Amino acid sequence: MTLLAWCIAWILDLLIGDPQSWPHPVRWIGSLITRVQKTVRRYCHSDRALRIGGGVMWLVVVGLSWAVAWGVLALANALHPWLGWAVEVWMIFTVLAGRCLANAARDVEQPLRAGDLAQSRIKLSWIVGRDTSQLQPTQINRAVVETVAENSVDGIIAPLFFLLLGGAPLAMAYKAVNTLDSMVGYKHEKYRAIGMVSARLDDVANFIPARLSWLLLSAAALLCRDNAAAALRIGWRDRHNHSSPNCAWSEATVAGALGIRLGGPNDYFGERVEKPWIGDEQRDIAVDDISRTIRLMWVASTLALVLFMAARWLVMGAA
């Protein structure tokens, strides 16, 4: 039943994603982070105090996310096994973000294809932290490809990995870790201190999933008839070409598979950030690379699901 729940949740994410009108735990986690952050800032003012407060915030948010998920699932199972199973499916469905990520990328791609650069910039600003107001089509394409490649890890592969390790409650706790990083894990002045713990522990959580993404996306490149050999080679070669210890693994693998170059300088919160280039520029990046990256994401996520289900089945068989 557990493996069936995984499959149904993954199919639900593929088909319907994240309807805005539906209740969603990640939005609740985001509201909790906002409230706890305000409390921390009210009492913590120095950098040292903000770092300590940020650590307490991480413990509160991640701990509550795991505890509430575990408690709700336990209660549902106590009331009726089928209710517990349905709640498990719902929880797993909510921690997966493949369809949401694909839709966000398509929302940028469509106006770009239609020549509406202004609308494409606006849509892009919803999913990236960089300044999009002056970006040209090549830079927009690069930003979307990078976003899909990077978030293939924390949107699908990592939640499935933690689902394997500790079921739906641990997968929910991972989403809390990831949401904390998304909201406060920035390096500019406002968040550098309070978000330090969140940023570093997100790096720890994604350490193994990011490296698995190198293999999964390379295998996906082979199945999609992209350049799998270059995906493996450049994914390994350029794995350190990012300030994050994890992001370059998936980005470099996709860059190698498609024969394009990612990275480079960008503006964040009014500051120019010089990033190293990732990949070899065998050709200019094009709008079609957005669709190709989405395809790689879906194939890699399917492979991750199959791999982790097989691992779960082997563990259950051994027990």
The closest alpha carbon to 212, from 171, 239, 250, 173, belongs to 250
Q: Using the predicted structure, report yes or no on whether residue 119 has a pLDDT greater than 60.
A: yes
Q: Using the predicted structure, report yes or no on whether residue 270 has a pLDDT greater than 70.
A: no
DSSP codes, 29-80: HHHHHHHHHHHHHHH--SHHHHHHHHHHHHHHHHHHHHHHHHHHHHHHHHH-
Residue 319 pLDDT grade (very low, low, confident, very high; cuts 50, 70, 90):
low
pLDDT at position 188:
77
pLDDT at position 222:
98
> Tell me: the pLDDT tens digits for 124-160?
999 887 888 888 999 999 999 999 999 999 999 999 9
Q: What one-character DSSP code corresponds to residue 1?
A: -
Q: Using the predicted structure, report yes or no on whether residue 274 has a pLDDT greater than 80.
A: no
Q: What one-character DSSP code corresponds to residue 241?
A: S
Residue 271 pLDDT grade (very low, low, confident, very high; cuts 50, 70, 90):
low
Q: What one-character DSSP code corresponds to residue 262?
A: E
> Tell me: the pLDDT tens digits for 58-113?
999 999 999 999 999 999 999 999 999 999 999 999 999 999 999 999 999 999 99
CA-to-CA distance for 233 and 256, rounded, in angstroms?
7
Q: Using the predicted structure, report yes or no on whether residue 268 has a pLDDT greater than 70.
A: no
Q: Are 210 and 153 in contact (CB under 8 A)?
A: yes
pLDDT at position 128:
87
Residue 197 pLDDT grade (very low, low, confident, very high; cuts 50, 70, 90):
very high
> Per the structure block, which two tokens stand in for 316?
């259950």
Q: Using the predicted structure, report yes or no on whether residue 51 has a pLDDT greater than 80.
A: yes
Q: Are 197 and 54 in contact (CB under 8 A)?
A: yes
Of 19 and 233, more confident: 233
pLDDT at position 318:
61
Helices (H) and strands (E) in the chain, counts: 13, 4
Residue 268 bridge partners (DSSP): 130, 271
pLDDT at position 1:
63
Of 135 and 212, more confident: 212
pLDDT at position 269:
58
Helix (H, G, I), strand (E, B) or coil at 266: strand
- Domain extent, residue 173, equals 2-318
pTM summary value = 0.94
Average pLDDT over residues 14-31: 88
Tokens 């002056």 found at: 134
Q: Using the predicted structure, report yes or no on whether residue 279 has a pLDDT greater than 90.
A: yes
CA-to-CA distance for 7 and 92, rounded, in angstroms?
10
277 vs 39, 236, 237, 298, CA distance in Å?
Answer: 40, 14, 12, 25
203 vs 17, 24, 255, CA distance in Å?
Answer: 26, 24, 21
Average pLDDT over residues 21-40: 92
pLDDT above 70: percentage of residues in the chain:
97
* Domain tally, the chain: 1
> Tell me: the pLDDT tens digits for 170-186?
999 999 999 999 999 88
Name the pairing type of β-strands 277-278 and 271-273: unpaired
Average pLDDT over residues 14-27: 86
Segment holding 30, helix H or strand E: helix 25-43
State which amino acid sits at residue 40: V
Helix (H, G, I), strand (E, B) or coil at 161: helix
Q: Using the predicted structure, report yes or no on whether residue 317 has a pLDDT greater than 90.
A: no
